[in-house]
Amino acid sequence: MNKKIQLQDLGKRDYKSTWEYQEEIFKDIVDLKIKNRREELDLPTPNYLLFVEHPHVYTLGKSGDLENLLLNEKQLEAKGATFYKINRGGDITYHGPGQIVGYPILDLENFFTDIHKYLRLLEESIILTLAEYGLESGRSEGETGVWLGVGTPFARKICAMGVRASRWVTMHGFALNVNVDLGYFDNIIPCGIRGKGVTSLNVELGVEKVDEEEVKSKIIKHFTELFEAEFV
């Protein structure tokens, strides 16, 4: 069991090229697992956590409803945004500047074979990070991700999640709003959920800008503890 995770910060990077990069890593890990099984080998499988910031983009999960995108092609272009239908779970979401996107590509057989637990630990890493900023966040029943004001009329999502897993290898992940222009969420029904808001860390803290590198370091700290992992 290899509990070392290779951390890669990709900086600002186009969604499509990042998706292709994820797919490449994902395939390499799956292929290695197949080789191990076929040839009765025990070669260690690698794990990765990719951090990235995307230009304005909307992505729709495989079970999502296209009607939750409220823009046509010309309007997308006017907003400087792109759109992709992708192979993760969940509905529609937005990625853009000021958002920390994390893509853990893990072989869960190195950690535990439980997708439900995996999702809960991803959420917990964000919940614990937000607690360090004095924010009480949590889960909303039946709705993946991390929310503020759960159970109140002011419930609002601060972190979206959507993953794919095959042969216990994960891809896609989470998107935490840190310094995001929330106006871009007005162009979708986020995650297909009506009547609930979206927020960003800087808005909740009442500041113009939060240090994103500091937020990443806190996420890494909690991820390390929760997954009993080591970043390299």
Q: What does the radius of gyration of the chain's CA atoms come to, in whole angstroms?
A: 17
| Alpha-helical regions (H) of 41-94 | 73-78
- How far, in Å, CA of 206 to CA of 204, rounded? 5
The answer to the question of whether 162 is labelled as a binding residue is yes
- 117 is written with which tokens? 């637990």
User: Strand 48-53 vs strand 4-12: parallel, antiparallel, or unpaired?
Assistant: parallel
The answer to the question of whether 86 is labelled as a binding residue is no
The answer to the question of whether 192 is labelled as a binding residue is no
The answer to the question of whether 131 is labelled as a binding residue is no
- How far, in Å, CA of 148 to CA of 199, rounded? 9
User: Cβ contacts of residue 192 below 8 Å, gap of 6+?
Assistant: 64, 65, 68, 91, 92
Quote the strand ranges of 81-229, DSSP E.
Answer: 82-85, 92-95, 99-105, 137-140, 143-148, 156-166, 169-177, 197-198
- Residue 113 is classified by DSSP as S
Count CB-CB contacts under 10 A for residue 81.
18
The answer to the question of whether 145 is labelled as a binding residue is no
The answer to the question of whether 95 is labelled as a binding residue is yes
| Alpha-helical regions (H) of the chain | 15-38, 73-78, 115-131, 201-205, 212-227
The answer to the question of whether 38 is labelled as a binding residue is no
The answer to the question of whether 229 is labelled as a binding residue is no
The residue annotated as part of the active site, out of 191, 210, 219, 220, is 191
The answer to the question of whether 88 is labelled as a binding residue is yes
159 is catalytic: no
The answer to the question of whether 54 is labelled as a binding residue is no
Active centre residues (catalytic)? 191
Binding residues: 88-95, 160-162, 173-175
Binding residues for substrate: 88-95, 160-162, 173-175
